[in-house]
């Protein structure tokens, strides 16, 4: 049976109980009925929740391929949104993507699946445990991909498992962080899964963390995200993820002392956690406590010597402090850990001896720009390098590209020392205001 066929038996969509057979919507304010065409439209969108459904797909599925004007589609969607108490400006259910189509943001749960068998629940618990084990350390691309498969299968085996949906939402967000996929693709899925997880179990701290995280990085909705993180901390004070995500929110608002204190609380709950120590490192850097940042980086390198991202991160700190020898040494260590070929390292050495660190950064830019032309993702690294060299025009081009991908990298744009060279440019204030990020004084 197709997903649309299963939904015909009835489904839960957020606060709405939907019964397509009689066209009814039952919600907090009571029951209402919608015409058959609107119900077909709702079932079509729900059967592909989290995916972009083009206008032509809607015409084929709902209107049987007949000619339908854009105004007819818009009018039908307006009526459906009105019935769901939804808003096109701040959608909770139906999102409009200009020139692409529409997307259902909430994952529906078929009523026929609410009574999951004992075997299904056992399978879901086993898959959930396997995925959690993969993410227990420092997740990488391979472990995230595998964990995502486990969590997706767990949510299918037991759609009523809030824990599986929360873990899936969290994994989608992590995947964007490490560059496996774009936020424009995964964040709507993360929001749908996290929203459903909270609806299923409002006392599950992990569900509130997942929902707060996606609201923070997708919409920069600081108020809503803060409420979710605070709820998670109240429910499970020993959860380091809740403290770390709350710290990211505070850091992005320029509340550095509070952010550092929050990460240290996470570290108290799990003193051996390398991911938490990385969060502390980044939070200290955003607070411009460079000496402490360097000390924490060295401590991390003692614990995990082959960590190129930490070594390369030190390059930015030393460069900002005009400590060129240390910056170059960290660069060589980081590139060596990444397995960069010896001829390129030798070229970098000669460039540094002849022209200094700025010339080395320009060489690094050339390499990354070449990688970008063949499809490798390097936008964030390029953005940092161009910002350090105050190449403003290229920076603003890259900022637009990163924004289109819904990258979490932009969350701390207003507070990151890396972007100091851009702040006096009028384009910078306009860009930050357009994104809805906090304006720093």
Same domain membership, residue 279 and residue 225 = no
Inside any domain, residue 346: no
Backbone angles phi, psi at 170, to 5 degrees: -60, -40
Top mean pLDDT of 115-129, 169-183, 272-286 is at 272-286
Quick check: is 336 in a domain? no
Cα 249 versus chain centre, distance: 13
- Residue at a domain's end among 68, 93, 111: 111
| Shared-domain flag, residues 225 and 260 | no
Q: Tell me, what's the pLDDT at 305? A: 81
Burial code (b: 16+ CB inside 10 Å, e: under 16) for 382-399 equals bbbbbbbbebbebbbebb
Same domain for 84 and 152, yes or no, is no
Checking if the pLDDT of 204 tops 90, the result is yes
**Domain boundary pick from 303, 329, 360:** 303
Question: Greater confidence, 227 or 161?
Answer: 227
Query: What pLDDT score does 369 carry?
Result: 84
Residue 18, SS3 per DSSP: strand
**Co-location of 106 and 192 in the same domain:** no
* Confidence band for 212, pLDDT divided at 50, 70 and 90: very high
Q: Higher model confidence: residue 175 or residue 326?
A: 326
Residues 21, 92, single domain; the answer is yes
297 and 204 within one domain? no
Pairing of strands 16-19, 11-13: antiparallel
Cβ(94)–Cβ(81) below 8 Å: yes
The tens digit of pLDDT for each residue in 83-96 reads 998 888 888 899 99
Q: Are residues 294 and 262 in contact, defined by beta-carbon separation less than 8 angstroms?
A: no
Residue 313 belongs to some domain of the structure: no
| Residue 122 confidence (pLDDT) above 50 | yes
pLDDT value, residue 3: 60
CATH number at residue 60: 1.10.10.10
Average pLDDT, the chain: 89
Average pLDDT over residues 426-438: 92
User: Is 367 contained in some domain?
Assistant: no
Which domain does 149 fall in, by range? 116-236
Same structural domain, 181 and 205: yes
pLDDT at res. 406: 81
Count Cα atoms within 13 angstroms, Cβ side, for 428: 18
Instruction: Say yes or no: 46 and 23 in one domain.
Output: yes
Please name the residue that has the structure tokens 């969108």. Answer: 45
pLDDT at 374: 47
386 pLDDT above the threshold of 70: yes
What does the pLDDT average to over 50-78?
Answer: 92
Please report the pLDDT score of residue 152 as a whole number: 85
- Tell if the pTM clears 0.85, that is, is over it: no
Reply yes or no on whether the pLDDT at 138 is more than 80: no
For 97, list phi and psi in degrees, rounded to 5.
Answer: -115, 105
Whether residues 299 and 226 share a domain: the answer is no
**The pair of three-digit structure tokens given for residue 52, joined into one six-digit string:** 């972009």
Domain membership flag for residue 353: no
Q: Is the pLDDT of residue 230 over 70?
A: yes
Lowest mean pLDDT among 107-111, 161-165, 297-301: 107-111
Together in a domain, 45 and 149: no
241 inside domain: no
What is the predicted pLDDT for the residue at 27?
67
Residue 199: CATH number of its domain = 1.25.40.10
Is residue 266 within 8 A of residue 244, CB to CB? The reply is yes
24 and 73 in a common domain: yes
Residue 441: the pLDDT is 58
Number of domains in the chain: 4
Residue 11 lies in a domain: yes
- Asked if pLDDT for residue 294 goes beyond 90, the answer is yes
* Residue of 329, 305, 309 lying closest to 319 (CA atoms): 329
CA atoms within 13 A on the CB side of 129: 6
List Cβ neighbours of 395 (8 Å cut-off, separation of 6 or more).
Answer: 383, 386, 387, 419, 422
Residue 392: per-residue pLDDT: 96
């Amino acid at each position: 049976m197709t997903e649309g066929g299963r939904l015909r038996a009835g489904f839960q969509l957020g606060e709405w109980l939907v019964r397509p057979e009689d066209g009814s919507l039952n919600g907090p304010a009571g029951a209402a009925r919608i015409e058959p065409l609107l119900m077909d439209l709702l079932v079509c969108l729900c059967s592909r929740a989290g995916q972009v459904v083009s206008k032509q797909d809607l015409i084929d599925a709902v209107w049987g391929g007949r000619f339908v004007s854009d105004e007819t589609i818009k009018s039908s969607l307006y009526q459906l949104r009105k019935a769901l108490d939804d808003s096109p400006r701040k959608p909770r259910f139906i999102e409009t993507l200009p020139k692409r189509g529409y997307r259902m943001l909430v994952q529906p749960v078929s009523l026929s699946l609410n009574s999951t068998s004992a075997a299904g629940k056992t399978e879901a618990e086993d898959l959930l445990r396997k995925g959690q084990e993969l993410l227990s350390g420092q997740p990488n691309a391979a472990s995230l991909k595998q964990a995502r498969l486990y969590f997706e299968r767990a949510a299918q085996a037991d759609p009523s498992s809030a824990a599986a949906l929360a873990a899936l939402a969290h994994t989608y967000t992590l995947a964007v962080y490490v560059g496996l996929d774009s936020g424009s693709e995964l964040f709507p899925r993360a929001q749908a899964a996290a929203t459903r997880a909270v609806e299923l179990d409002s006392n599950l701290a992990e569900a509130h963390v997942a929902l707060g995280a996606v609201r923070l990085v997708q919409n920069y909705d600081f108020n809503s995200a803060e409420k979710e993180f605070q709820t998670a901390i109240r429910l499970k004070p020993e959860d380091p993820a809740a403290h770390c995500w709350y710290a990211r929110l505070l850091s992005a608002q320029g509340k550095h002392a509070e952010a550092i204190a929050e990460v240290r609380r996470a570290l108290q709950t799990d003193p051996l956690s390398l991911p938490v120590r990385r969060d502390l490192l980044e939070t200290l850097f955003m607070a411009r406590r460079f000496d402490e940042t360097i000390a924490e980086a060295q401590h991390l390198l003692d614990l995990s010597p082959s960590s190129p991202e930490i070594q390369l991160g030190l390059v930015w700190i030393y460069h900002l402090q005009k400590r060129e020898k240390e910056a170059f040494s960290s660069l060589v260590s980081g590139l060596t850990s990444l397995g960069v070929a010896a001829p390129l390292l030798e070229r970098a050495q000669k460039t540094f001896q002849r022209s200094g660190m700025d010339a080395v950064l320009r060489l690094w830019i050339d390499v990354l720009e070449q990688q970008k032309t063949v499809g490798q993702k390097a936008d964030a690294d390029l953005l940092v390098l161009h910002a350090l060299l105050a190449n403003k025009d290229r920076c603003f081009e890259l900022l637009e590209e990163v924004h289109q991908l819904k990258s979490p990298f932009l969350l701390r744009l207003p507070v990151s020392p890396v972007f100091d060279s851009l702040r006096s440019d009028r384009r910078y204030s306009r860009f930050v205001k357009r994104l809805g990020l906090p304006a720093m004084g």
